[in-house]
Structure 1
């Protein structure tokens, strides 16, 4: 299993990340231990970071948010209107959108090359992100639990990790 940490940037509090505590509890249940919390990205860390976003834009906190988003960071609960901009400017590992996250939905927006390895994409589906090299899929049916959300994110990151290392 890949190693993950929850990234909570120092002196910055995201707004609108509904049910983050429930997600962390579900994630801890899936992991079998408490997820470690980091305050900044460690370039020597070989795992992935989960970064709560909500209504946050990349320039927030004098650009500190944007500085902490890269191909090793998966974003949690991104407001829909910010998704294209964040994908284009920051190139994260992937993300969940706000509307589905707070409802314990399991849709993942991730790298199209990775999703194609685990899911048959329908032609013309969600072309909004396709030009940016991303698409979305539902790895597990929604059951209303954050354990399922955590499993969806972790399953995507497992395949993403293999893809990134072989890129």
Structure 2
């Protein structure tokens, strides 16, 4: 399994509904408590999960933007912020706010990665194509955050 850590920046993410439920589900899947860190370690070979909510990349004088890169998967991003984040920051992937809130397993990820793992026939979704991303449901959802954690 790929190593992951939860990245918590010094800004409380408003709009990240059910984060505690997700963390508990993630802990259940990992069989241990996820490491929570406040900054990115360049020597870490895994991925960071960053709760976003209403935060924008410019939040707190760009502090958030400095912490979003290809090793960071964003949780619960407000829909209207997604295009700007994809264009400016190039994260590993995203769950949007509405779907995260409802424990869906739909993610937005890099098209080249999704094309390698896609196992279902799905309609083309060109919404994020210009940014090199696509929307995908890697496994069916059952309303539990354990399944959300597995999908991510």
Shorter-chain TM range is over 0.9
Residue aligning to 1:67 = 66
SS at match of 1:30: helix
Q: What is the CA–CA distance in structure 1 between the aligned matches of 2:17 and 2:142, rounded to whole Å?
A: 18
- Report how many residues are paired: 151
Could you tell me which residue of structure 1 aligns to residue 37 of structure 2? Answer: 38
Partner residue, 1:151: 150
Q: 1:34 to 1:147 in 2, by over 3 A?
A: same
User: How much has 1:118 moved relative to structure 2?
Assistant: 1.3
Partner of 1:7: 7
For the residue of structure 1 that corresponds to 2:59, the secondary structure is coil
Residue 74 of structure 1, CA deviation:
0.2
Q: How far apart in 2 are the matches of 1:25 and 1:118?
A: 27
Q: Which runs of 5+ in 1 are unaligned?
A: 154-167
* TM-score (norm: length of structure 1): 0.88
TM-score, reference length from structure 2: 0.96
Q: For 2:34 and 2:69, locate their aligned partners in 1 and report how far apart those are by CA, in whole Å.
A: 20
Aligned 1:1-167 pairs, distance under 5 A: 1-9=1-9, 11-119=10-118, 122=122, 125-153=124-152
Q: 5+ residue gaps in structure 2?
A: none
CA offsets 1:126-166 (integer angstroms, 9 cap, x no match): 2110011000110111100000000000xxxxxxxxxxxxx
- Residue of structure 2 in register with 1:157 after alignment: none
